Amino acid sequence: MSALNIKRGSSSHSAYDLRDPNAEVIESHTLAVVVDNESGVLARVIGLFSGRGYNIESLTVGEVDHARHLSRITIVTSGTPQVIDQIEAQLSRMVPVHAVHDLTMDGPSVQRELALVKVSGKGEARIEALRLAEIFRANVVDSTLESFVFEMTGTPEKIDAFAELMRPLGLREMARTGIAALSRGV
């Protein structure tokens, strides 16, 4: 008797694909949360996510109004529409939270991320890394005889694509800021 030669997820009838076809789709949402700029607020917001088992895919925080002591937290999270609604409602009920906006649902938005990418290499690999950086509009912010550090701003997909192309050329390290986003228009 021979062993079954079935690859995981290889057909629509696979036992590994047992998701309920009536289940709701998991969606990624970008939330902009305006909060008081005081100690402990970020920990409380993050505690809401971790306490309920919600995942944070990206997190960016910065002061946006010095005079009124307000900061903006941009959170990318995922879940069913009900989970996203629950997250928004729970955030809105927190005392230091002034506003919660779901940029994904509010209409078109602009989303960008900053990345620093260190690539090492010599000879042809070095020349190829510089050529690709020019195509992706990445700037060289540090250079030695054996490595470059590129600075790149763009969508997360653009940064992912750049990193994948740099991997065989000698990608050594990468730091990413997380997504900063604003809704388009007025």
* pLDDT for position 16: 56
- Map out the domains of the chain as residue ranges: 27-102, 109-183
Topology at the third CATH level for domain 109-183 = Alpha-Beta Plaits (3.30.70)
CATH number of 27-102: 3.30.70.260
Per-residue pLDDT reduced to its tens digit, 86-143: 999 999 999 999 999 999 999 999 999 999 999 999 999 999 999 999 999 999 999 9
Say whether pLDDT at 59 is over 50. Answer: yes
Cβ neighbours of residue 43 closer than 8 Å, sequence gap 6 or more: none
- Report the C-alpha gap between 24 and 38 in whole angstroms: 37
- Report the C-alpha gap between 104 and 78 in whole angstroms: 11
Per-residue pLDDT reduced to its tens digit, 102-116: 999 999 999 999 999
Q: Are 100 and 31 in contact (CB under 8 A)?
A: yes
- Report the C-alpha gap between 157 and 58 in whole angstroms: 13
